């Protein structure tokens, strides 16, 4: 049942241009997915909402866009070279590799089913290594960042010196991160090339608990704003033995995905671990001078960390619906207006009537000037167009018909607007359209 639900979402995503398997024409590349024409719009809407909410909408936050390739010393200092590991076992029969904490019986290979073929567990570092420049030796090794957080910590001093923010303040970044996951799985849930939206929020050491609580509720509000079903989000206090090497306290926000309750995003108290570690390794002073008290100290950090791909998957899972409308089964995505890739579609009732097409085009261009997420659709009959727009989650469909042209004088310059969820149609004036779709 869970597999079936997931298969339907994956299939719709491919069929309608949201998400395709990475490098598909070459047989794919495990752990990579490509966002198609609608997927990139959906993803951008998530990122824009996040940026507006947490960066532009607040006066204690600023943004950053740091390089993906970073000096290897940064990842040694942060503890990732030594500690960013997953436990790995390998089958001597089929040669498949598994995460030791993901297999059931440690004596049986989950792939070929042979007994006694799994190796002893060893630690596997998940960072992708590459080399910069033309020489290939130890000194040219760099890592693709495994979390965007690293770029924020190494720029703390730059931001303080150039921008002079007052504590508490945060630095936010959206960008790609790379993890050589042993077992990528569940569509875009566990991938090797992922995107994160992260905040490092710097506080006075004694302020961390209050700030942690503030960010806990801000994260929940953000999920709601994206349309993620609030009753499917749960908080998990991470046990001390499971905490990441940098964290003193972490809450995982979990979501009821079709394949089970799994981590959607995290909120961690990273203490002064990172700034102190980078100060020691780089020899730079990464303390902060509070000019109101004259005190100098290393700030502590609260880190709300959101995965873009998992947020998109939680939105898709929350929005996916099947029902019956007018005696026909249909599938639709109940995206909210903020997140929907297309806000409204405009149709001429018939595509072979030039006067209808011209008027519809006029309405389409007028709306597109105000709201770019408008689609033109004149392909197939109206019923088919409605189904297509339902499947991609377009909240409103606008049809220009003969009454719009004045066939019934009192209805001149009115159109029908159809609501995706109820299928109900209403007749409204063209002049009211902009306000209705906003
Ligand atoms: N800076 C903290 C950090 O990176 P994390 O729990 O390892 O913490 C944060 O990752 C978020 O990034 C996760 O909650 C998840 O949303 C996303 N994420 C992590 N690994 C992922 C993967 N392999 N595929 C997709 N998303 C992933």
- CB under 8 Å to 37, separation ≥6 — which residues? 17
Q: What is the pLDDT of residues 55-85, one digit of tens each?
A: 999 999 999 999 999 999 999 999 999 989 8
The pLDDT score that the predictor gives to residue 1 is: 56
What separation in Å is there between the alpha carbon of 26 and the centre of ligand 1? 28
User: If you search the block for the tokens 């992708």, which residue do you land on?
Assistant: 128
Host H or E run for residue 236: strand 233-237
CA–centroid distance, 176 to ligand 1, in Å, is: 11
Closest atom, ligand 1, to C-alpha of 190: 24
Which residues share a beta bridge with 249?
269
User: What's residue 102's pLDDT?
Assistant: 83
Nearest C-alpha to atom 13 of ligand 1 is from which residue?
Answer: 265
Nearest to 338 by CA among 63, 57, 52: 52
Phi and psi at residue 406, in whole multiples of 5°? 110, 15
Ligand 1 center–CA 41 separation, angstroms: 22
Q: Is the dihedral of CA 144, 150, 152, 158 positive or negative?
A: negative
Distance 264 CA to ligand 1 centre (A): 8
Q: Does the beta carbon of 420 sit less than 6 angstroms from any atom of ligand 1? A: no
pLDDT for 134 equals 84
Cα 373 from Cα 294, distance rounded (Å): 51
Tell me if 251 CB under 6 Å of ligand 1. Answer: no
Atom 24 (ligand 1): residue with closest C-alpha? 190
Residue nearest to atom 19 of ligand 1 (CA): 307
Is the beta carbon of 311 within 6 A of some atom in ligand 1?
A: no
Helices (H), 133-260: 149-154, 156-163, 208-226
Distance (Å) from CA 296 to ligand 1 centroid: 33
Half-sphere exposure of 191 (CA within 13 A, CB side): 21
Cβ atoms of 202 and 300 closer than 8 Å: yes
- β-partners of residue 83 are none
Residue of 263, 270, 274, 313 with the most ligand 1 atoms within 8 Å of its CB, for mutation: 263
In angstroms, the Cα distances linking 265 to 189, 196, 314, 410 are 11, 10, 11, 54
pLDDT at 77: 96
Q: Where are the alpha helices (DSSP H) in 242-282?
A: 273-282
Q: How far apart are CA 25 and CA 6, in angstroms?
A: 23
What is the pLDDT at residue 326? 87
- For residue 135, what pLDDT is reported? 81
Nearest to 332 by CA among 387, 385, 377: 387
Atom of ligand 1 nearest to the CA of 188: 25
What stretches in the chain show pLDDT beneath 70? Answer: 1-2
- For residues 423 and 415, what is the distance between their CA atoms, to the nearest angstrom? 15
């Amino acid at each position: 049942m869970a597999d079936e639900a997931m298969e339907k979402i994956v299939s719709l995503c491919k069929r309608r241009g949201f998400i395709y398997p990475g490098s598909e024409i070459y047989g794919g590349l495990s752990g990579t997915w490509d966002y198609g024409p609608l997927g990139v719009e959906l993803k951008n809407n998530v990122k824009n909402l996040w940026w507006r909410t947490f960066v532009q909408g607040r006066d204690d936050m600023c943004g950053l866009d740091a390089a993906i390739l970073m000096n290897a010393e940064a990842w040694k200092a942060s503890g990732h070279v030594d500690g960013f590991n997953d436990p790995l076992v390998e089958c001597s029969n089929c040669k498949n590799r598994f995460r030791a904490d993901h297999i059931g019986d440690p004596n049986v290979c989950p792939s070929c089913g042979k007994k006694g073929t799994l190796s002893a567990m060893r630690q596997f570092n998940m960072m992708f290594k590459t080399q910069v420049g033309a020489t290939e030796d130890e000194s040219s090794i760099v890592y693709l960042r495994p979390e965007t957080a690293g770029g924020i910590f190494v720029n703390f001093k730059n931001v303080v010196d150039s921008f002079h923010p007052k504590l508490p303040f945060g630095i936010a970044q959206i960008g790609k991160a790379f993890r050589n996951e042993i077992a990528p799985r569940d569509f875009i849930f566990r991938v090797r090339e992922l995107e994160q939206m992260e905040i490092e929020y710097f506080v006075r050491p004694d302020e961390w608990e209050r700030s942690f609580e503030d960010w806990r509720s801000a994260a929940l509000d953000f999920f709601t704003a994206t349309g993620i079903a609030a009753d499917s989000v749960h908080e998990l206090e991470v046990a001390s033995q499971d905490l990441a090497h940098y964290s003193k306290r972490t809450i995982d926000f979990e979501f009821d995905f079709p394949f089970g309750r799994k981590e959607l995003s995290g909120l961690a108290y990273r203490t002064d671990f990172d700034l102190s570690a980078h100060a020691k390794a780089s020899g730079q002073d990464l303390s902060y001078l509070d000019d109101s008290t004259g005190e100098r100290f290393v700030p502590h950090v609260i880190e709300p960390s959101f995965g873009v791909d998992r947020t998109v998957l939680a939105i898709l899972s929350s929005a996916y619906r099947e029902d019956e409308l007018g005696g026909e089964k249909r599938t639709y995505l109940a995206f909210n207006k903020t997140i929907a890739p297309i806000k409204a579609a405009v149709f001429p009732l018939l595509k072979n009537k030039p006067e209808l097409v011209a008027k519809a085009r006029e309405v389409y261009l007028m709306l597109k000037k105000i709201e770019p997420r408008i689609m033109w659709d004149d392909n197939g009959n109206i019923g088919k167009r409605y189904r297509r727009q339902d499947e991609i989650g377009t909240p409103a469909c606008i049809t220009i018909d003969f009454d719009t042209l004045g066939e019934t004088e009192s209805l001149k310059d009115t159109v029908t607007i159809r609501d995706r969820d109820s299928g109900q149609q209403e007749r409204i004036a063209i002049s009211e359209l902009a306000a209705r779709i906003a």
